[in-house]
Structures are given as C-alpha cells and as structure tokens.
Amino acid sequence: MSVLRRLLLAVGAAGAAVLTLLGCDQQRINALEEGLSTEADVRAQFGEPTTIWPEPDGSRTFEYNRQPMGHQNYMITIGADGRMSALRQVLTPHVFAQVQPGMSQEQVRRLLGQPARRVTYDLKQETDWDWRWIDPPTREKVFTVTFGADGRVLRAASQDKMPEGR
C-alpha cells in the first residue's frame, strides 16, 4: 500500500471519528431535558465530568471537554435539587465576548473549559490558551486568550485555524 493511500485512509478515519463524536454528543443531548433530567441521567449520557465546579447557590457545573480533537466544550449545571437546570456548549462567540482583560486563568477556565493547547512564550512572559471551535456552518477557528506573567488576561481573539506547528 502506498504512503499516500495510507495517509488518505488515516485522514478519513480521523474525520469519521470526529463526526461520530459529534453525532454521539447530539444523541446524548437529545436524551436530556432541562428541569427533568437528574444528575444520574447526565452521568449516564456523558459519563464522568472533566471537572465539577461548585456554584454559590449550591448547584454544580459539570464540565465535559471535547478538546483538543473536538470543537465543543459542554457545561451542564445540576441544581441543588439534583436536576439538570442548564446544558450549554460554551465555545461560541457570545461566550468568548465575556472574556475581558484582567480576568484570571481560573475565571476563563470556568467560562470556557479546558483549552486544547497551552503555549508559554518565556521571553514575552505571556501564555496563550487555545480552543478549537466551529463558526457555522463548517469554518474551523481557534479562540486564543493571552495571559500575562501575573496570570491575567491581556487580550483575546479568534482567527481561522492555523496549520499545526504554529
């Protein structure tokens, strides 16, 4: 088998895996209903969350991360009553707009979930966090938040997805 043929097969398999993941997520979401589904229902559909964030009102937000291969991060809120009160895909322009200069890394992490990649630039004393996302219908983009040496947001912006090894 030629190298080109093997490469094309590998790329095709990777693409199919991403589409399968997207389809599975939509089936999981469709199986849940805000106000009715319980924490057990959420866990049965999505499994163990990446992170559980406690909220001041006694609710908890479950983070389901799809980075670096996917283009979504889900935040599912379980109310103090044990029922799902919200299910959000947070890698969207209206959520990105909430990232403001001066925010801490933890604030950004709670808002967007775990990034796909973190890169530190020692000479500039800056760190970039990147999230992969889709600008509908199919445009791949990267949202980057740049933190200063103090761990606070300096700037944030989206750009078209750059080739690997940027």
- For the chain, the first-to-last Cα distance in angstroms comes to 31
Instruction: Enter the DSSP assignment of 38.
Output: B
**CATH number (domain holding residue 122):** 3.30.1450.10
Domain range holding 154?
Answer: 93-160
Cβ proximity of 116 and 99 under 8 Å: no
User: Of 27, 55, 89, which marks where a domain is finished?
Assistant: 89
Between residues 109 and 165, which one has the greater pLDDT?
A: 109
Shared domain check, 141 and 73 = no
Shared domain check, 79 and 9 = yes
pLDDT at 162: 62
CA dist 62 → 28, 67, 68, 150, 161 (Å): 15, 15, 18, 27, 27
- Alpha helices per DSSP H over 31-144: 39-46, 93-96, 105-112
Q: φ, ψ for residue 46 (rounded to 5)?
A: -110, -15
The answer, yes or no, to whether residue 24 has pLDDT greater than 50, is yes
pLDDT at 78: 98
- pLDDT, one tens digit per residue, over 114-131 is 999 999 999 999 999 999
pLDDT at 150: 98
Shared domain check, 155 and 105 = yes
Q: For the full predicted model, state whether its pTM sits above 0.85.
A: no
